[in-house]
Structure formats: structure tokens, C-alpha cells
Amino acid sequence: MAVADVNSAIMVLEQMLSGPSFSILLDPLVTATSTNEFLVAAAATPSPRKRKGSPPVRNEDYFESEVPRYSDPTFTFHFRMCRSTFEDLLCELEPTLCCKIQPAGKKILCFLWLMGNRESFRNVADRFGISKSSLHRNLTHVANSLLILSKQEIQWSKETFEKKAISKEFEKFPGVVGCIDGTYIPMTGKSGAKRDLYICRKGFPAMHAQVVCDGNLTILDIITGYPGSVNDDSVFQNSALHQALQSLPVEYHLLGDSAYTLEHFLMTPYKDNGSLSDTQTMYNLRHSSVHCCVERCIGLLKGKFRRLKNYECRGDELMCKTIIGCATLHNFILKREQFDEADIDLSDVESETVDLSHVYAPAPNSQASKKRDDVSRKLI
């Protein structure tokens, strides 16, 4: 190589190396002791590695072109409701959704696909031809709209005729106006200093959700937001529902498992110490057969909205809103469609109830105990 060519090459390299994008190359080059060694070192330095993987391929016309071509069964399979129910939902939510950039229908379908499947956040965004940040906004907007709708879709029965109608659904057990139970919504992405507060007794971080339902699996009340470390009875004792039940007519009551404290408005099973009478045994059997409806209700909720079985959401507020949103959709769908037994997922139901009476140590309630004894005798 001629001296002039070498000098020209050095000038070009010096200009290149003076830029910020090449500052990372200076360390291996400063050890060169001559001009030729400098050039050889520069040529031998490997270029920065490119990130593995290809850029996301977005389906730009999925909502506009593909979804309208879905058959009715395919639409129902993907979006957890039939077309007519979706159209009703669109009419309900559209007035409260901001639709300046994306149509309301697209936002709602994004929410339904995201909560009804366990596909990654990025894949769902690519499917609908939007960015992850846009998908997050859609999730937030629809959750906020469903929270407004929940006030008319999830209602505790206040009128006497409503209580009578619900109690007739539970023929095996008199006076029941609802069954109550708690469940865990796993929080896969939970981190931070307070993570340990969310570790439930099953050993993973979760948010607690308390559900009350009727005999048709309609959700009458739902409370969420408590960390998984808080037990069922503590959630109930601190709920607005517990306060409202204080004035419940004496002939009515909820059914709860042994995790709850026996009260005159909440019938729990007899604790089996091996000495139960035939009457008490019959009571427990009837109680269990009727109370299982709330387990089926929670199973249907998680079966339709599968992301509730393993939720990656890190923000508590948004997670609460999406849980309430799914419960609202659960009722909205049940009013318009028959549910499929195959949608009920009971994999999270425990084989046996956990007795936490030793933790709560409730004071004996003679009024509640007497009422339970009276109910048990009526079941003979």
C-alpha cells in the first residue's frame, strides 16, 4: 500500500473513530504501535452484534378483514362470546370509550382476546396490528368502561322478592341467597419490596378475589384488591357486603366453607372431630353439594378468561379493574347465552377445604349456632 493511501486511510479512520457511535472500538485500537498495525487492528475488530430475532410482523388488517370472515363458532371460540352478544356489548361500551384513533369494536376485541387467551402481550399486539403501548391503552380504556358497566351488571339482591327468587334456586338448602368463596389470581410479574405481602398460602404471589354467586352462577358481588396473604374471612369481615348483611332477614343466609366464621347470615359446615351426629353429617353433605356452585362460578370465570389463571399485570389498580371487568363480562354473557360445561375449569379448586378456625379463633356465636342447628333439623 502506498504512503499516500495509508495517510488517506488514517484520516478517514480518525474521522470515523471520533464519532460517538465508534467510541466502543477505541479500546482495542489504542494498543496499535504503528500505522499498519492500526489499520490491521481496525479491519480485524468485529462489528457490534445485531440483536437476534426479526422485527415484529404485524397483521395490519386482522380486525378489518379477517374477523368479519370468521364463522360464528370461530368468533365465539376466539372472543368468548357470540357475535350478537358482542354487538350488545359494543352498544353498551361505545359511549364511554375514547375512539379517536381506533374504533371501539377493535379495542373491545383486543381486551377479549387478551383476557380470553394466554398469548403473550406482544403477540396480541402484533395480531391486531398495533404497538404494545397501544394495546395497553386499549386494555385500560375497556377496563374503565367495564367498571362503569359493572354497576348495573353486578348487583346484590336488595329486595325481598329477589331474595325469594334466589332461595328457590337452592332447593336442597333452605334460605340460601348466595354462596361465597375466595380465589387467587396469580401475579406472575409481581416484584418490588412489597412482593412478599402477596405470597398466598400456596406459595406464589397473587391477588385475592372474593365472589358471591346465585344458583345460576351469576355473580352477585365481587371484591378484589387484597394481597394473597390475606385470608378469606378477613376479606369478608372488612367488606361492604359484611356490613350490609347485618340487616339480612333471619330466614336468609349465605353459604361459606370452613374458612369463614359462623354468623347468623353466613352458614358454615360443622367442624368434623369424628363425633358428628347423623343430622350434622347430613347438614354438611347438603352444604357441600350446594356450596359447590360458587366453585363452578369461579371455574367458569377463569375458564372463559384464562389470563386470570396466570396474570402478568404488575399494576394493582389495572389488575383490579380487569378482574372486575371479566366478572362484568361473565354476567353480561350469562344473560344472553347458555354456558358450556366444558368452559368450567375446576383445576384450581382444592380437594379439601382448609380449616382456619385456629387462626381466627372467633368468639362463640350462640345465635348463629342455634340457627345452624335449626337448619340442620329441617334437612332431615
Convert the pLDDT of each residue in 10-45 to its tens digit.
454 344 444 433 333 333 333 333 334 433 334 444
CB 188 within 8 A of CB 307: no
Q: Kindly report the length of the chain.
A: 380
| Chain segment 197-214, per-residue pLDDT in tens | 999 999 999 999 999 999
Task: Report the alpha-carbon distance of residue 272 to residue 268 in Å, rounded.
Answer: 12
SS3 of the chain: helix, strand, coil, percent, to 5: 55, 10, 35
Q: How confident is residue 54, by pLDDT bands cut at 50, 70 and 90?
A: low
Task: Report the alpha-carbon distance of residue 226 to residue 313 in Å, rounded.
Answer: 15
**Joined grid coordinates for residue 321:** 379493574
Instruction: Quote the pLDDT of residue 158.
Output: 84
Instruction: Quote the pLDDT of residue 312.
Output: 81
Question: What phi and psi values does residue 288 have, to the nearest 5 degrees?
Answer: -65, -40
Instruction: Quote the pLDDT of residue 348.
Output: 77
Q: How confident is residue 315, by pLDDT bands cut at 50, 70 and 90?
A: confident
Instruction: Quote the pLDDT of residue 221.
Output: 97
**Quick one: which H or E segment has residue 208?**
strand 206-213
β-strands 219-227, 266-267 pairing: unpaired
Instruction: Quote the pLDDT of residue 30.
Output: 35
Task: Report the alpha-carbon distance of residue 44 to residue 361 in Å, rounded.
Answer: 75
pLDDT value at 256 more than 90? yes
Mean pLDDT of the chain: 84
Query: Mean pLDDT, to the nearest integer, of 320-349?
Result: 92
Whole-structure pTM value:
0.81
Query: Mean pLDDT, to the nearest integer, of 159-185?
Result: 93
Query: Mean pLDDT, to the nearest integer, of 160-183?
Result: 93
The more confidently predicted of residues 94 and 354 is 94
Instruction: Quote the pLDDT of residue 376.
Output: 94
- Count each helix (H run) and each strand (E run) in the chain, helices first: 15, 5
**Joined grid coordinates for residue 71:** 364463522
Least confident of 118-127, 135-144, 188-197, 333-342: 188-197
Q: How confident is residue 69, by pLDDT bands cut at 50, 70 and 90?
A: very high
CB 209 within 8 A of CB 330: no
| Chain segment 225-246, per-residue pLDDT in tens | 999 999 999 999 999 999 999 9
pLDDT value at 334 more than 90? yes
* Residue whose C-alpha cell reads 391486531 in the numeric block: 128
Least confident of 184-198, 209-223, 234-248: 184-198
pLDDT value at 380 more than 60? yes
Least confident of 34-43, 154-163, 179-188: 34-43
Q: How confident is residue 340, by pLDDT bands cut at 50, 70 and 90?
A: confident
| Chain segment 70-112, per-residue pLDDT in tens | 999 999 999 999 999 999 999 999 999 977 789 999 999 999 9
Q: How confident is residue 363, by pLDDT bands cut at 50, 70 and 90?
A: low
Query: Mean pLDDT, to the nearest integer, of 248-260?
Result: 95
For 375, the 3-state DSSP assignment is helix
